[in-house]
Amino acid sequence: MDAKCPHNGVISCGDCRMNALCLPVALQADEIDRLDKIIERGRPLQKGEYVYHAGEPFRSIYAVRSGAIKGFTVNNEGVEQVTGFYLPGEVFGMDGIGHPNHINAAIALETSAVCEIPFSRMEELSSQIASLQRHFFSLMSREITNDQQLITLLSKNSAEERVATLLTSISARNARRKLSGTRFRLPMSRADIGNYLGLTVETVSRVFSRFQKMELLIVDKKEIEISDLERLQAMANT
């Protein structure tokens, strides 16, 4: 990660508003303090700045504190494939586990802050704190499930189902952060959405327009208001 800086005590895990998502509930105050001491917090990343590049040595996993991060790969022909979007409270960078280097790259979609957790020290601490180890295994399981969901998502027949699935996913993730699940701003571009869902930009735009006509959404550029969440969820679960 560019411009790493050591933990400076300005924000601790115990004080962070994202800790309910990042940390296992069972951690005691002294255990949170031990975890807090291994976490590195760098300066904010600006839009377009990399957290890490594909091929870089795998040393850490990361948690989003604010903003949004995009994970992606680039094939031998130079074609980008978006592999995921990460919102506050979510952990990313696990693509390097089991490999010496990161397979994917991660980049800030907007001004973002991340916590860097050195993996070797996380492993060491997890072996000493059972609840942290269970939580870490749960995070790994969630990442595997997300990969499977992407495969399932790309197998859906219609563009409407794919877009509805992404929107309801963001809705649910916002709700977990105690934010509105029906009014939110999309941090990613239509091009990124299309790339992730295997659709053209034009198709994504048409689907948004169609959803507005169906009175499922109110769309103002990146601002989204879901007018009928139940219908959108039903479409996503088709």
What pLDDT, on a 0 to 100 scale, did the predictor assign at position 6? 36
**pLDDT digit string, tens, across residues 131-187:** 777 777 776 667 666 666 666 766 767 999 999 999 999 999 899 888 899 999 999
Most distant CA pair in the chain, distance:
55
What pLDDT, on a 0 to 100 scale, did the predictor assign at position 28? 58
Q: Please, which pLDDT band fits residue 225 given cuts at 50, 70 and 90?
A: very high
What pLDDT, on a 0 to 100 scale, did the predictor assign at position 32? 67
Topology (CATH) of 156-236: Arc Repressor Mutant, subunit A (1.10.10)
Q: Which has the closest alpha carbon to 135: 231, 13, 44?
A: 13
Q: CATH number of 19-153: 3.40.50.720, 2.60.120.10, 2.40.50.140, 3.40.50.2300? A: 2.60.120.10
Q: Please, which pLDDT band fits residue 12 given cuts at 50, 70 and 90?
A: low
Chain mean pLDDT for the chain:
83
Q: Which has the closest alpha carbon to 110: 86, 136, 77, 126?
A: 86
Across residues 97-117, what is the average pLDDT?
92
User: Where are the domains positioned within the chain?
Assistant: 19-153, 156-236
DSSP state of 17: T
What pLDDT, on a 0 to 100 scale, did the predictor assign at position 55? 94
- Radius of gyration of the chain measured on its C-alpha atoms: 18
What pLDDT, on a 0 to 100 scale, did the predictor assign at position 1? 38
Cα–Cα distance list, 38 to 24, 74, 89, 110 (Å): 16, 31, 18, 26
DSSP state of 58: P
pLDDT at 27 over 80: no
**pLDDT digit string, tens, across residues 51-105:** 999 999 999 888 898 999 999 999 888 899 999 999 988 889 988 887 899 999 9
